[in-house]
Chains A and B, each alone.
Chain A
Amino acid sequence: MTTATAPARPARAARRLPAPPSFLRLCWIELRRSPMPLILPLIALLFWFDSYRPSTTQAPLYPLVTFWNLGQGHTIIDFGPFVAGMSAWIGSRDGRRNTVDLVSATPRPRWAAQLAAWASAAAWAVAGYLACIGVTFALYAHRGVAGSPPWWWVAVGACAVLAFSAAGFTAGTLLPNRFAAPIAAFGGFLVMMMSSQAGFADRSGWALILPSNSNGNFQADSGILYPWLPDLPIARTMFFAGITVAAISVAGLPAAAGGRRLRMTAAALTAAGLATTGTAVGLASTARLSAHGMVIPALHDAASDRLTSYTPVCTGTGFRVCVNPAYRRYLADTAAALAPAVASVAGLPGAPVRAVQGPAVYDSADGGGGQPVTISGSPPVLSVPLGAWSFLPGINGFSTGPDSVGAFRQSVWLLFGQAFVGAGHGPGTPAQQAVQAALLQRLGVPFADQPGLLGSIELTSGHPEPLPGPVAAAAGRLAALPAATRHAWLATHLAALRAGDVPLSQLP
């Protein structure tokens, strides 16, 4: 007997893994052959131009860089219509490919086969979305974006992609021809446009549930000084989850989808999905504005309101300025801006002895703008809400170029003066306006430039018009006084000035 003819030694029985359940195996086949990945490069390109690039023009803080793409829902706009269209293409497959009879002649309900096709398409779409977000966050990390990412908003986006996928797929099953895909894509686009329009118009109520409603999404200092508020994202996640369940269950309602019991289950799921969606809309309509975001009482956790503890980074020997480590890059500029302003009032009652970073107060109307600084406590401490300022030095918002350090200083001086004279959130009394103008002039901002400065930082209290004649005249007189004289007058009248009890005529 030669080696070639010798009987093979019986191989040891190979240890086989149990076969996966049929549904998972169906999903695996669908996953391998799903056409959804074909559309993902196009979506990624759109995402790059529409979601990522605009975000790079923001200051490198998570609440700011994610405001455009996640807060205003541009990522969902980029993904939604295309995912809906491709899902509809997949959903209409049996009709287009003439496989209805083949699939219907099998014992497995047609809805189950459809679920496998949808689950695979949705998995690709969500994976594409998460990949885009992952790459974006990696680029942010490389750029040194500070704070923590808004994971809740990422979850909202993933659920939105699922919902578009489910709605598109079901549209495809109900309209099984080649027109299903363009109709679903256009429908998705239309929905997002309507959502954006309603979102910009309505700052409260049910419209807050809409995915591109940015009112309620801008949460300055979230993930830095505060945790991200999960209230509105939870409601929106419910909203999209409900739509997903309802939409995909509708595909199980037709007689061809399966047996009576299965169709009753589909009907129950449709009702449950709609109820969840309705509940989410109801919850959103109870939302109210808090200091750092939208609060939905039924979903709110008081722990979210607590400031995050951190070890500040500080600079300065005499007058120390301390900020959150996330704002480290602005510390030197802030200290340099405050130094001459603080020096100009040194020794006066209420002059701050140090500056700390204060939390920004959320405002859905202006998205932060130029929130005022405050002076409080004994000894007086200056609280600087850096997170609320859109004029931080460097690249910011949609400005054509980076904001200059000079402009930043002037804005800080303006806000400092406003706080020092006790003008609070408004322009103040004529006397307070005159003293502010004089302080600014002494710091190097000519009277002629001051209205422009007021307008440029978008103060809610701003009034870019020239100062009224008597106020301008009084400011000119005060600024022209010798420093010691001006100092002495302020030392005497500062308390009354802050109380609003000094008439303009009383200024020297």
Chain B
Amino acid sequence: MNVELTELARRFGRNQAVAGVSLQAGPGVYGLLGPNGAGKTSLLRMMATVLPPSSGKMRLLGRDPGNHTQRREVRRRLGYLPQTLGYYPGFTVAEFVEYFALLKDMPPGQVPRAVATAVERVGLGDKGRAKLKTLSGGMLRRAGIAQAIVNRPDLLLLDEPTAGLDPEQRVTFRALLREIGEQATVVVSTHLVEDVGAACTEVALMDRGRVVFHGTPGELTARGEGSGAAGDAPLERGYSAVLAAARS
């Protein structure tokens, strides 16, 4: 298992952002769904090793991120796209991706090819020399995805990766996710249930810091059948039904 979470919790003052999440995930694409404030981003930040958990256990890629040496090992094999992508406006796309490839301890000799491949995979091949400050929001998002996948991660954490992407790019991106998910564990936090339906092999639905549903997209869809829950698509109705049940 690449991800093993046991009763993982995180508290910010009085606010319990994540309240005892237990999950296990191997290779595949995992969707993390939930309303605003459900704790998805906090959970992803803990898995990205940038936010220490308040309690619980976490093993990533078979290692304990609480241990400094093992955390470095995890980070070498990790790709992370935060919800709000920070970037250096003066850098070009290629420099931005290369910068993070180097920070990820990639062998210097492999970096140029890896950067070119990552930039090409997100469809920014012709924008490699463009400065980030000249890119549109969607292109910036793709540059962020490129830095996340440049090291061919075994664990890829993407927080709202398709926000700002046009429909065509979204389709391409889902294909990319499926391709990466064949060998790596991809965790995608998203509001867009169609992303989950199209790309994810499993889905977890969070509410108020807890996982209230864990299963396949088909199982989630089934929860909505005949429930009378609101939603335009079967998966949306399943989403609404599970949330309503969790809150009742």
- The residues of A with any CB-CB pair to B shorter than 8 Å are 18-22, 25-26, 29, 32-33, 35, 93-94, 97-108, 113, 259-260
For A106, the chain B residues whose CB sits under 8 A away are: 75, 100, 103-105
Q: Which residue of A lies closest to B41 (CB)?
A: A101
Chain A residues near B72 (CB, 8 Å)? 107, 259
Report whether B90 and A33 are in contact in the complex, using a CB–CB cutoff of 8 Å. Answer: yes
Closest chain-B Cβ to A131's Cβ sits at a distance in Å of 22
**Contact between chains at B108 and A21 (CB < 8 Å):** yes
Q: Return the contact of B88 from the options A22, A99, A101 (Cβ within 8 A).
A: A99
Interface status of B50 (Cβ within 8 A of chain A): yes
Chain B neighbourhood of A20, CB < 8 A:
108
Q: A22-B108, A259-B68 are in contact. Are A105 and B48 (CB under 8 A)?
A: yes
CB pair A29–B108 under 8 Å, yes or no, is: no
Surface stretch bound by A, among B10-18, B78-86, B210-218: B78-86
Seed contacts A20-B108, A105-B75, A108-B103; 5 additional CB < 8 Å A-B pairs: A22-B102, A25-B111, A32-B95, A259-B68, A260-B68
Is B76 a contact partner of A107 (Cβ separation < 8 A)?
A: yes
B98's partner among A18, A29, A260 (CB-CB below 8 A) is A29
Which A-B residue pairs are the 8 nearest by beta carbons? A98-B86, A99-B86, A19-B108, A106-B103, A107-B75, A259-B68, A107-B72, A19-B109
Q: Which of A22, A35, A102 contacts B86 (CB 8 A)?
A: A102
Q: Which residue of A lies closest to B84 (CB)?
A: A98
Within 22-80 of B, Cβ neighbours of A (below 8 Å) are at 45, 48-50, 68-69, 72-73, 75-76, 78, 80
Residues in B with CB closer than 8 Å to A33 are 88, 90-91, 95
CB-contact partner of B109 in A18, A93, A98, A101, under 8 A = A18
Q: Given A107-B75, A108-B102, do A101 and B91 touch, yes or no (CB 8 Å)? A: no
The listed residue (B73, B88, B103, B107) touching A97 by CB distance below 8 A is B88
Q: Give the docked Cα–Cα distance between A113 and B103 (Å).
A: 7
A21 contact set on B, CB distance < 8 A = 108
Mark interface residues in B209-238 (1 if CB within 8 Å of A CB, else 0). Answer: 000000000000000000000000000000
Given A106-B100, A107-B72, A259-B68, A94 and B105 contact (CB-CB distance below 8 Å): no
Can you list 25 residue pairs at the A/B interface with Cβ under 8 Å?
Answer: A19-B108, A20-B108, A22-B108, A25-B102, A25-B108, A26-B99, A29-B95, A29-B98, A33-B91, A94-B86, A97-B87, A97-B88, A98-B85, A98-B86, A101-B80, A104-B49, A105-B50, A105-B78, A106-B104, A107-B72, A107-B104, A108-B105, A259-B68, A259-B72, A260-B68
Chain B contact residues, CB within 8 Å of chain A: 45, 48-50, 68-69, 72-73, 75-76, 78, 80, 82, 84-91, 95, 98-100, 102-109, 111-112, 147
Please give me the residue from chain A that is nearest to B108 by CB atom: A19
Chain A residues with CB under 8 A of B106: 22
A434 to B41, CA, bound (A): 95
- Given the complex of chains A and B, what is the CA–CA distance between A39 and B109 in angstroms? 34
Q: Which residues of A contact B82 (CB under 8 A)?
A: 101-102
Contact (A25, B147) CB under 8 Å given A106-B75, A107-B76, A108-B103: no
CB neighbours (8 Å) of B48 from chain A are 101, 105
Query: Please, how many angstroms separate the alpha-carbon atoms of A18 and B107 in the complex?
Result: 11
Q: Smallest CB–CB gap between A132 and chain B, Å? A: 24
| Residues of chain A with a CB closer than 8 A to B103's CB | 26, 103, 106-108, 113
CA distance A108 to B45 in the complex (A): 18
Chain A residues in 8 Å Cβ range of B85? 98, 102
**Residues in B neighbouring A108, C-beta threshold 8 A:** 102-105
Instruction: Provide the residues of chain A in CB contact with B88, threshold 8 Å.
Output: 33, 93, 97, 99
Instruction: Give A98 to B89 CA distance when docked, in angstroms.
Output: 12
Shortest Cβ distance from A172 into chain B, in angstroms? 14
Residues on A with C-beta less than 8 A from B105 are 22, 106-108
Interface centre among B68, B106, B111 (most CB of A within 10 A): B68
Q: How far is the CB of A192 from chain B (nearest CB, A)?
A: 29
Residues of B within 8 A of A105 (CB): 48-50, 75, 78, 80
Across-interface contacts of B86 in A (CB, < 8 A): 94, 97-102
Q: Is the CB of B76 within 8 A of A29?
A: no
Docked pose: A447 CA to B68 CA in angstroms: 87
Chain B residues whose CB sits within 8 angstroms of the CB of A18 once the complex forms: 109
A265 to chain B, nearest CB (A): 14
A93 to B89, CA, bound (A): 11
Report the Cα distance A19→B45, complex, angstroms.
Answer: 33
| Chain A residues with CB below 8 A from B75, complex form | 105-107
In the bound complex, do residue B108 and residue A102 qualify as a contact, i.e. CB atoms below 8 Å apart? no
Closest to B83 in A: A101
